[in-house]
Amino acid sequence: NAGVTQTPKFRVLKTGQSMTLLCAQDMNHEYMYWYRQDPGMGLRLIHYSVGEGTTAKGEVPDGYNVSRLKNQNFLLGLESAAPSQTSVYFCASTGGRQNTEAFFGQGTRLTVV
Amino acid sequence: AQSVSQHNHHVILSEAASLELGCNYSYGGTVNLFWYVQYPGQHLQLLLKYFSGDPLVKGIKGFEAEFIKSKFSFNLRKPSVQWSDTAEYFCAVKNKAAGNKLTFGGGTRVLVKP
């Protein structure tokens, strides 16, 4: 079982460059999430999706865009990267009902110089 | 908005000591509660979860947590820690009223000295 797969695992960007992080899950989960993890700040929700074709803002959405064109994929885009976006990004998925747990990807370590 | 508080940011213990990490959440209705662990350099893994029923939940690696509804708390405990329990621990909450979004606390970094 692949579970939740994130690509890439590491990336270094220059300020102003763009990139897309890909998250794929094979559990037919309705909900998918993108979090960023920064020292001392826990996991903060960037955007999430409650199903194919839907997206919603989380706590820290500015500077990011997302798309959920297929149920199994959730893309996180940075149009113009800034050093403040240096972080570890985690994707997660869960069933949409109550009483379901979330599964996490391995993380993407992004450095913006 | 739903919020989750973990009061201890850093905890340092010796092996065989007991561990208790606090977690409080803001929502008063029906909730799902979770503790996740992140070992150095790894992704988050589920330690235990509470959906309903017995408020004392047992998880993997000897961890347990107690849901106290009146206190909006879900504290994590382990009677005797090992060096391998060095990790960051996250409490998380999900509830229907908040659209079943998964909200995390700020995490507690635990260092167990051998």
pLDDT tens-digit readout, B4-33: 999 888 999 999 999 999 999 987 678 899
Name the CA dihedral angle for B73, B74, B80, B82, rounded to a multiple of 10 degrees: -120
Cα–Cα distances in angstroms (integers) from residue A12 to residues A21, A88, B25, B87, in the given order: 12, 12, 36, 26
Q: How confident is the model at residue B2 (pLDDT cuts 50, 70, 90)?
A: confident
pLDDT at residue A92 tops 70:
yes
- State how far the Cα of B71 lies from the Cα of A63, in Å rounded to an integer: 37
Say whether B43 and A42 touch across the interface (CB within 8 A): no
Distance from C-alpha of A45 to C-alpha of A73, rounded to nearest angstrom:
17
* Whether the predicted pLDDT of A1 surpasses 70: no
Tokens at A107, concatenated: 């993380």
Radius of gyration of chain A (CA): 13
Determine the Cα–Cα distance for residues B98 and B87; give it in Å rounded to an integer. Answer: 29
pLDDT in tens, A11-67: 999 999 999 999 999 999 999 999 999 987 888 999 999 999 999 999 999 999 999
Say whether B43 and A105 touch across the interface (CB within 8 A).
yes
Yes or no, beta carbons of A45 and B101 under 8 Å apart = yes
Distance of CA A23 to the CA centre of its chain: 7
SS3 annotation, B81-106? CCHHHCEEEEEEEEEHHHCCCEEECC
Nearest to A42 among B30, B34, B90 (CB): B90
With CB atoms and an 8 Å threshold, state whether B34 touches A42.
Answer: no
Q: Do residues B52 and A99 make contact, with C-beta atoms less than 8 angstroms apart?
A: yes
Task: Name the residue type at position A105.
Answer: G
Q: Is the pLDDT of residue A98 over 70?
A: no
d(CA A63, CA B53): 42
CB B55 within 8 A of CB B68: yes
Q: Residue B96 phi/psi, 5° resolution?
A: -65, -40
Of A41, A90, A99, the CB nearest to B43: A90
Residue type, A29: H
pLDDT of residue B10: 93
Minimal Cβ distance to A99: which of B6, B32, B43: B32
